[in-house]
């Protein structure tokens, strides 16, 4: 089997760390693994297959001989370094929002639009969608194929790990401060997140929505390859460490009963139906954390429209929402295209 030289860019971050673990768990065919981060991380190491690998500083000449680059160093760094990596012959799979909506960059969730990976040659870049969008589209796709979705109304309950390691630390420190009767400090979020709920993820736009909300609207259409699906979103930060939850309301063109939806979703790749309310069984962030699947439950009729459903969708935002989806794309690239 062919083996590849792989670089993880942003390796010391919440997503990068999980990428390294996922490459090991899924036995990705690696010849050499290169770990890249900022100069701040020089001297650090990460363990891969029992070996301590040093973290190198990301520089313009970092990509010589690298076949695949898994990027999550933030939008500004990806904007600068993804084209540099491509110029030295590397295929980039980028987790930031830098390239997602560019028409000549495929935006891929393998369970939904794996075929779009074939378009990677135009720019040498494949974009990994936003975490909240990924877990929603793996559930929407089989339902859309069966009964055509007209409109989606989603409200998210998003974990702090989505913002990175500094935000995980901020929630921990705030909980400790409150417990010890000390002053609560906030640096990452504009308000205290511990024991609070913030209707604010990423920055605000002219239209009153946040960037995170508009990512859900625009990325869903691109991944599902259907501009007619109407989407509206309210994205909310909650004091949870790992796992995004979503209340999803779907209106269909044709009839779609809860029973039929459960049947379709039981067969859907990457989806697990957890839907037995009588036994208090429904998807929970604490159960989804560390898992690969997207969990769906509370599937019930929206009685206010002819053909509608409500459901609750949960996944590990760092795994399926980021690292796992990226490694799945890399697997298809390695097996079919490189």
Picked from ligand NAP, ligand 12T, none, the partner binding residue 270 (CB below 5 to 8 A depending on kind) is none
Q: Please report the DSSP string for 211-243 in residue order.
A: HHHHHHHHHHHHHHT-TT-EEEEEEEE-S-SS-
Binding mask 81-120 for ligand NAP (x = CB under 6 A): --------------xxx-----------------------
Pick from 135, 163, 174, 325: which binds ligand 12T (CB under 6 A)?
163
Q: What tokens were used for 220?
A: 């869903």
285: tokens are: 């962030």
What is the Rg, in whole angstroms, of the alpha carbon atoms belonging to the chain?
Answer: 20
Tokens of 247: 């209340």
Is residue 58 a contact point for ligand NAP (CB under 6 A)?
yes
Q: CB within 8 A of 122, min separation 6: which ones?
A: 104, 105
Beta strands across the sheet bearing 68-71: 45-48, 51-57, 30-37, 4-9, 68-71, 91-94, 125-127
Q: Which of 41, 62, 97, 294 binds ligand 12T (CB under 6 A)?
A: 97
Residue from 15, 107, 311, 314 binding ligand NAP (CB under 6 A):
15
* Residues near ligand 12T (CB under 6 A), total: 11
Contact 238, 200 (CB under 8 A): no
| Listed residue (36, 29, 28, 138) closest to 80, CA to CA | 36
Identify what 202 binds: ligand 12T, ligand NAP, none; CB under 5 to 8 Å per kind. Answer: ligand 12T
Show which residues are catalytic. 131, 244
Q: Which of 29, 74, 124, 258 binds ligand NAP (CB under 6 A)?
A: 74
Return the number of the residue (309 or 327) whose C-beta is nearest ligand NAP.
Answer: 327
Q: Least separation, in Å, of the C-beta of 61 and ligand 12T?
A: 27
Nearer of residues 34 and 163 to ligand 12T, judged by Cβ: 163
Nearer to ligand 12T, 194 or 309 (CB): 194
What letter would DSSP give residue 281? Answer: B
> 189 or 252: whose CB is closer to ligand NAP?
189
Burial 190-214 (b: 16+ CB within 10 A, else e): eebbbeeebebbbeeeeeebbebbb
Question: Judged by CB under 6 A, which of 6, 11, 140, 194 binds ligand NAP?
Answer: 11
Contacts of 286-289 with CB under 8 Å at 24 or more apart are: 286/243, 287/314, 288/242, 288/243, 288/314, 288/315, 288/316, 289/241, 289/242, 289/243, 289/316
Of the pair 41, 96, the CB lying nearest ligand 12T is at 96
Asked if 184 and 192 count as a contact pair (C-beta separation under 8 A), the reply is: yes
Q: Which of 7, 20, 23, 37 binds ligand NAP (CB under 6 A)?
A: 37
Instruction: Name the packing angle between helices 258-267 and 131-147 (round to 10°).
Output: 120
Label residues 166-180 b or e (16+ Cβ within 10 Å = b): ebbebbebbeeeeee
* Candidate list 4, 20, 73, 189; residue touching ligand NAP; CB under 6 A: 73
Verify binding: residue 158, ligand 12T, rule CB under 6 A: yes
Segment contacting ligand 12T (CB under 6 A): 134-142, 158-166, 225-233, 291-299?
Answer: 158-166
Site for ligand 12T in 189-228 (CB under 6 A): 201-202, 212, 215
Min. distance of Cβ 77 from ligand NAP in angstroms?
5
41 versus 130: smaller Cβ distance to ligand 12T: 130
Residues that bind ligand 12T (CB under 6 A): 96-97, 130-131, 158, 162-163, 201-202, 212, 215
Residues that bind ligand NAP (CB under 6 A): 10-16, 37-38, 40-41, 58, 72-75, 77, 95-97, 128, 130-131, 162, 164-166, 321-322
């Amino acid at each position: 089997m062919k083996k590849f030289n792989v670089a993880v860019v942003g390796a010391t971050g919440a997503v990068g760390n999980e990428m390294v673990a996922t490459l090991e768990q899924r036995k990705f065919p690696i010849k050499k693994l290169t770990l890249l981060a900022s100069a701040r991380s020089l001297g650090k190491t990460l363990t891969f297959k029992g070996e301590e690998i040093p973290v190198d500083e990301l520089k313009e000449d970092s990509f010589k001989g690298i076949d695949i680059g898994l990027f999550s160093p933030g939008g500004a760094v990806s904007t600068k370094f993804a084209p540099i990596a491509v110029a030295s012959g590397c295929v980039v799979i980028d987790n930031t929002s830098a390239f997602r909506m560019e028409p000549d960059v495929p935006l891929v969730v393998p369970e939904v639009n794996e075929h779009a990976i074939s378009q990677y040659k135009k720019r040498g870049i494949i974009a990994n969608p936003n975490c909240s969008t990924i877990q929603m589209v793996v559930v929407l796709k089989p339902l859309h194929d069966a009964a055509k979705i007209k409109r989606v109304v989603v409200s998210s309950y998003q974990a702090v790990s989505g913002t990175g390691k500094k935000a995980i630390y901020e929630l921990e420190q705030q909980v400790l401060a409150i417990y010890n009767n000390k002053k609560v400090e906030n640096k990452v979020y504009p308000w205290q997140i511990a024991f609070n709920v913030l209707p604010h993820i990423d920055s605000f736009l002219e239209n009153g929505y946040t960037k995170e909300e508009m990512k859900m609207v625009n990325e869903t259409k691109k991944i599902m390859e259907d501009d007619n699906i109407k989407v509206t979103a309210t994205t909310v930060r909650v004091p949870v460490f790992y796992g995004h939850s979503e209340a999803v309301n779907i209106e269909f063109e044709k009839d779609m009963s809860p029973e039929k939806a459960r049947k379709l979703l039981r067969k859907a790749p990457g989806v697990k139906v957890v839907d037995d309310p009588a036994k208090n069984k429904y998807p929970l962030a604490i159960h989804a954390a560390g898992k690969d699947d997207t969990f769906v439950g509370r599937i019930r009729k929206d009685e206010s429209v002819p053909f509608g459903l409500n459901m609750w969708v949960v996944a590990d935002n760092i795994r399926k929402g980021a690292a796992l989806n990226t490694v799945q794309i890399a697997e298809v690239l390695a097996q079919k295209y490189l």
